[in-house]
Amino acid sequence: MKNIFMILTSLMVLISCSKKFTFIVPQKPGGGTSIWATIVAEELEKKLGEKIIIRHIPGARDQIGFEKFHKTLRFDDYMIMVSHGGNAVSFLQENVIYDYADYDVIAIMHNNIIVSRDKNLNWQSNVLIYSLHSGTVPESLALALLIDGHNAPKNWKKRTILIKGMSQSENRLAFRRREVNITRENPAAHLKHVQGVEHAEIFFNHGLYNPLTGKFDKDPNFPDSFTMEELYKKKWGESSSGSLYNAYKMVKAWRDGIQKALWVNKGNPNRDRLRKAVTDMLNDPEARIRLQKKLGKYPWDIGENAVYYVKALYRLLNRDAMQTLVKFNREQLGLDSYYNEKRVQKKN
């Protein structure tokens, strides 16, 4: 009997030792989040002392992977969800089952989106042509506010041509060919795909959400470009406000505030170990330089600081902003958007 117990114990130890930390990435290899996860895993596993596996689960605008994590994978203590801004947008406006309040956040890298235009475009009078693809709702709201001010959306539909069904790579090619005159990218992709285009110039960016002030700070990586609010005030002579602006502020803060984040199931016993490993990674000067070179100089929040940030995002949820977002999506963008009252009731 003693021998059997020892054998079973040894088997359990072997099984435990064979477990590998796994990043669940909700998109195909080569996508922005896949690249981010691979870069971070390479540095993070040095601090964990263990190999991190990258597992891609793409589909349904990157929702399938997150929903699979929510339903089953999160109960494995070695599974780590790598979410991005598109997941946050879907959380606000679609009938998805995942909810960030059900998880423990390990770390967040905040980010931004850079909106560029054809330098020959007079955006105040010409028709704006751009691709309506995954994650572009905040840009659509921003353009509506810039075009119509507090009356938005009034003339916005007459001033825009939205092209649906175009992938990000197709959109990049269309912008180079001048078939669209507005494009948007995250900072790393902007430097790679837009900055070298001769007819391109930065239109605006969204800034970085500050939960202490409730405002969007200047992006130090793009100090000479306007934030949407700055451009709005320059045109209209006053600060942006109202229901549509509150919807924009909410969805933009969610999308870019947790544009790249790591999550585990609530109560995961590896949580603190993972948080410490991320802290060690970012406190390592050489690792930090390598990360910034590849991902940009954007702020991170870890552990309780990340928890505070997520709670601040939940405080932005309110009935008027959520309903305005859904109405704009349905009537102006033709998107099958969904209002979820539970999102409003589940503020932290």
Q: How confident is the chain (348 residues) per 10-residue block, as mean pLDDT?
A: 50 53 93 90 97 94 94 98 94 94 97 96 96 87 95 90 89 96 90 93 96 93 94 95 95 95 98 98 97 91 97 94 95 92 72
| Nearest C-alpha neighbor of 107 from the set 266, 324, 337, 271 | 271
Q: Is 245 exposed, middle or buried (0-12, 13-18, 19+ CB in 10 A)?
A: buried
- Three-class SS state of 223: coil
The confidence score (pLDDT) of residue 104 equals 98
Rounded to an integer, what distance in angstroms lies between the CA atom of residue 260 and that of residue 43? 16
The count of residues in the chain is 348
Q: CA-based diameter of the chain, in Å? A: 85
Q: Which two tokens stand for residue 122?
A: 């007079």
Q: What is the dihedral of CA 252, 254, 260, 266, to 10 degrees?
A: 180
pTM: 0.89
Sign of CA dihedral 289, 294, 297, 298: negative
The confidence score (pLDDT) of residue 1 equals 52
Residue type at position 292? Q
- Do the beta carbons of residue 258 and residue 92 sit within 8 Å? no
Q: Which two tokens stand for residue 282?
A: 């970012």
Radius of gyration in angstroms for the set of CA atoms belonging to the chain, rounded to a whole number: 21
331: DSSP letter: I
Q: Which two tokens stand for residue 325?
A: 């977002």
The confidence score (pLDDT) of residue 347 equals 56
- Do the beta carbons of residue 257 and residue 157 sit within 8 Å? no
Those residues whose C-beta lies under 8 Å from the C-beta of residue 172, and which sit 6 or more positions away, are 183, 193, 194
Rounded to an integer, what distance in angstroms lies between the CA atom of residue 219 and that of residue 232? 17
108: DSSP letter: E
| Nearest C-alpha neighbor of 66 from the set 299, 258, 305, 321 | 258
| Peptide linkage before 269 cis (omega within 30 of 0) | no
- Do the beta carbons of residue 103 and residue 69 sit within 8 Å? no
Residue 319 neighbours by CB distance under 10 Å = 12
